[in-house]
Amino acid sequence: MMGRIDTAPNRQATELFDGLPARYDRLGALLSLGQDRRWRKEMVRHVRAAPTGRVLDVATGPAGVALAIRSATGAQVVGLDLTGPMLERARQNLLTQNEHGVHLIQGRGEELPFADGAFDAVTFTYLLRYVADPAATVAELARVVRPGGILASLEFHLPPAPWWRGLWWGYTRLVLPVAGWLTGGREWFEVGRFLGPSISRHYRRYPLSWTVDAWKQAGIEGVGSRLMSLGGGLVMWGTKPGGS
């Protein structure tokens, strides 16, 4: 377990997303220009590449990733999220699909209530912008992966090509807030206005090279990364050494 943790970023995430669980997937589709499902499939592909009987999905939201992992691997999945409303939406989604192989729990990715090596794979999605110490959080996530198990993640990213980054900047600063207002009112406007600058700030402080190094420092080997959709998404994966 980690020591004393700054919870201010957690409060920000809770305030931002508590009112949006019923429309969270639509938000992901808007920000990714409809590419989020393809990104998710790529992350799950790396989980499926290794034997997985028990998987932890952190920042599970309405359980979209948990359901995808369950469908692709047949594993027992634990979905963990910080916010109660998101977990309630996840429960509704699981009931709708008559899915009993996903167990939901409320908790923080920075301080997981599980023993060392408890899972064959751990996934996390759009998490590191909402924690005070991304490196310590990655170490905590890696802690609960068994030797030989997989750590995989999906995050938004900054397009590296200048021309595409310029279009991305205009979309996230101008189009996304307006689209949020038109489709969901003030709450969605605030989220749309927040997300682009949040992504930019995060990668100014924690570029991809830093993130890869943080995974390695956490004990993950063979760290791979793939930029998706001209760099708007980032899938990462790696293996915890050991195992049979």
Give the whole-angstrom CA distance, residue 119 versus residue 108.
16
Kindly report, residue by residue over 171-201, the tens digit of the pLDDT: 888 887 777 677 666 776 777 778 889 999 9
pTM for the model = 0.87
In a domain, residue 28? The reply is yes
* Contact between residue 81 and residue 20 where contact means Cβ atoms under 8 Å apart: no
pLDDT score of 1: 41
Q: What are phi and psi of 153, to 5 degrees?
A: -145, 160
Q: What are phi and psi of 36, to 5 degrees?
A: -60, -35
Q: What is the CATH number of the domain that holds 107?
A: 3.40.50.150
In a domain, residue 107? The reply is yes
H helices of 49-111, where?
Answer: 64-73, 84-96
Q: Average pLDDT for residues 6-32, to the nearest whole number?
A: 56
In a domain, residue 21? The reply is yes
Kindly report, residue by residue over 41-76, the tens digit of the pLDDT: 999 999 998 888 999 999 998 899 999 999 999 999
Listed residue (164, 195, 159) closest to 177, CA to CA:
195
In a domain, residue 195? The reply is no
Chain position carrying tokens 């206005």: 193
In a domain, residue 3? The reply is no
Which residue range forms the structural domain that includes residue 154?
A: 8-159+207-239
Number of domains making up the chain: 1
Give the whole-angstrom CA distance, residue 32 versus residue 125.
13
In a domain, residue 127? The reply is yes
The single-letter DSSP state of residue 114 is S
- Compute how many other C-beta atoms are within 10 angstroms of the C-beta atom of residue 217: 12
Q: If you average pLDDT over every residue of the chain, what do you get?
A: 86
